[in-house]
Amino acid sequence: MTMKPLPLAEVYRLIEPGPVALVTTARKGRANVMTMSWHMMVEFEPPLVACVLSEANYSFAALHATGECVIALPARKLAPKVVKVGNSSGRDVDKFATFGLTPLKAAGVKAPLVAECFANLECRVVDRRLVKAYNLFILEVVKAWVDPRQKNPKTIHHHGYGRFVADGRAFTLKSRMR
Nearer to its own copies, 26 or 49 (CB): 49
Return all residues near 109 (Cβ < 8 A) that are at least 6 apart: 68, 69, 70, 122, 123, 124, 142, 143
91 is an interface residue for its own copies by CB under 8 A: no
Q: How far is CA 7 from CA 13, 19, 70, 80, 88, in A?
A: 11, 19, 16, 30, 33
Instruction: Kindly tell me which residue out of 5, 17, 100, 108 binds its own copies, with binding defined by CB under 8 A.
Output: 17
Nearer to its own copies, 33 or 138 (CB): 138
Is the Cα torsion angle 170, 121, 124, 100 positive or negative in sign? positive
7 is an interface residue for its own copies by CB under 8 A: no
19 is an interface residue for its own copies by CB under 8 A: yes
| Distance of alpha carbon 45 from alpha carbon 10, whole angstroms | 9
58 is an interface residue for its own copies by CB under 8 A: no
132 is an interface residue for its own copies by CB under 8 A: no
C-beta separation of 122 from 21 below 8 A: no
Q: Which stretch binds its own copies (CB under 8 A): 25-33, 48-56, 106-114, 117-125?
A: 48-56
Q: Which stretch binds its own copies (CB under 8 A): 22-30, 49-57, 92-100, 103-111?
A: 49-57
Nearer to its own copies, 47 or 106 (CB): 47
